[in-house]
Homo-oligomer: A and B are copies of this chain.
């Protein structure tokens, strides 16, 4: 059974927006590679912009699956789950369909002052950092807010570096850096 046109469009757009860029991807190519009529795209999504919003939602869902299902499923302690997040990142980088984070990429190629895209990316970032923070707090870190900001920065750095270098193993660099951050913060507590 072949997926519904709506799903096919979403998956094709997700792939093309990330691998080729959003502006560089015309609707003609999306519908051709999705094997779908032009009218169907506009019946389902109304505009290219709304299709992009759907891609945003899809990638956000991936992150929430990580936090709400995969991480708890490990049974590890908070520190272990934070580090396991980087294993999930590596898995993403290795998937063959990784060409950067669609939020970051979208901000990069849209107007940064007054545009709607940056607002959506900020929302996403805020929600991710909430989840991160609760892990950091559970790990018993001293200055949890600072450690969370550090980890968030490392995650973004790993994503961008993986996009530029096309080398999935940068996730391990991120993981080691995260360990430095956490262990330094835990040391500060003991002392």
Docked-complex contact B163 and A112, CB < 8 angstroms: yes
The binding surface of chain A is classed by DSSP as helix
Chain copies in complex? 2
Residue of A104, A150, A153 with most chain B CB atoms under a 10 A cut-off: A153
Segment touching B, from A19-27, A44-52, A71-79: A19-27
Take A150-B173, A165-B122, A180-B181 as given contacts and tell me if A109 and B21 are in contact as well, using a CB distance cutoff of 8 Å: yes
In A82-134, which residues have CB < 8 Å from any B CB? 99-100, 103-105, 107-113, 118, 121-122, 125
- Whether A104 touches B22, Cβ cut-off 8 Å, given contacts A146-B176, A157-B156, is no
What chain B residues lie within 8 Å of A111 (beta carbons)? 19-21, 24
Cβ–Cβ contact A24 & B149, under 8 A: no
Contact assessment for A164 and B21 in the assembled complex, using a CB-CB cutoff below 8 Å: no
Q: Is A168 an interface residue (CB 8 A)?
A: no
Q: Besides the contacts A24-B111, A156-B156, what 6 more A-B pairs have beta carbons closer than 8 Å? A: A118-B164, A122-B165, A150-B173, A153-B177, A157-B157, A157-B160
